[in-house]
Amino acid sequence: MKAFGLLGGTFDPIHHGHLRLAEEMAEALGLDEVRLLPTGTPPHRSAPAASAIHRLAMVQRAITGNPRFRLDTHEIHKTVPCYMVDTLGELRAELGHDVPIVLFLGADAFAGLARWHDWQRLFSLCHIAVAERPGYDLDSRLPPELDAEHSQRRTARAQDLRTAPCGQIYRLAITQLDISATGIRARIAGHRSVRYLVPDAVLDYLQHHRLYQ
């Protein structure tokens, strides 16, 4: 049976931090396909700086050549706030109820999970894989209700995520790339280079469309 990974983000723009997260998780968990899911109207933050069309085009360019990665357009065209539980419900209807789906989250994103709409229902729809950061003490940052779910659902065995469709939490230390989309936008606005922070195909696109200037 195929197993899927999912990385949601504003991707404003997509960068090598996102791509390494997806690549290392997919490899560690033996996933067949990873969906990169650009958000439309994010419920938790201000509107993205670049349009949905540009963000989608950059993700498409960034993943070209990686046979495991696919662009997922479930959210990008929606004009109302998108909640991950709803998107995962749509994905489940499409992919089936038995296939493993693993949602990838950075440690900071995971620590804020209890603020997500209907977050406890996520565990009946997907597994969660958390990318750990050295020096970031995740355990001390979990609010009590998330800490309780985490203790109950945490597994150290990658194969547990292949043998059930949902419900487990897995933590993995990945290669640290201190890159953020915020930093990239600030560099461009300050007329500084972002070469090697993003794939070359994304750099070409940013320059051609004069994004974030």
Interacting residues with ligand ATP (CB under 6 A): 9-12, 17-18, 21, 105-106, 108-109, 131, 177, 179-182
Residue nearest to ligand ATP (CB): 106
Q: Which residue, 1 or 53, is less far from ligand ATP as judged by CB?
A: 53
- Under a CB-based contact definition with an 8 Å cutoff, are residues 174 and 25 in contact? yes
Q: Which residue, 9 or 100, is less far from ligand ATP as judged by CB?
A: 9
Smallest gap from Cβ 98 to ligand ATP, in A, equals 26
Smallest gap from Cβ 55 to ligand ATP, in A, equals 9
3-state secondary structure 74-87: CCCCCCCECCHHHH
Smallest gap from Cβ 184 to ligand ATP, in A, equals 8
With CA atoms as reference, report the closest residue to 78 among 107, 111, 105, 40. Answer: 40
Q: Mutual orientation of helices 52-63 and 200-208 as an angle, nearest 10°?
A: 150
Cα–Cα distance, 34 to 71 (Å, whole number):
9
> How big is the chain, counted in residues?
213
Q: Which residue, 18 or 61, is less far from ligand ATP as judged by CB?
A: 18
Smallest gap from Cβ 179 to ligand ATP, in A, equals 4
